[in-house]
Amino acid sequence: MRERIEKALDKVRPMLAADGGNVELVEVTSDGVVKLKLKGSCGCCPMSSMTLKMGIEKILKQEVPEIKEVVAL
């Protein structure tokens, strides 16, 4: 599943990079929680929680339906 998540994140990275950010996959728990670290400009952006839930989580769940939740560390 980790490989499929990385592939889905590769679809998101260009959008994040356009604003000077990136995302790193930290952990995938056995119960389907994906833990990410937002980097660069995304790490300190006040809109990062919206980016995480409305953008990254939405795309990841479409690509990897087993995902239950996406959280930032």
Number of other CB atoms surrounding residue 33 within 10 Å: 13
Q: Percent helix, strand and coil across the chain, each rounded to 5?
A: 50, 25, 20
pLDDT of residue 67: 97
Q: Model confidence over 8-28: pLDDT tens digits? A: 999 999 999 999 999 999 999
- Sorted by where each starts, the structural domains of the chain and their CATH numbers stand as 2-72 (3.30.300.130)
pLDDT of residue 64: 97
pLDDT of residue 58: 95
Instruction: Please tell me the pTM assigned to this model.
Output: 0.91
pLDDT band at 45 (very low <50, low <70, confident <90, very high): confident
- H/E element holding 42? helix 41-44
pLDDT of residue 26: 97
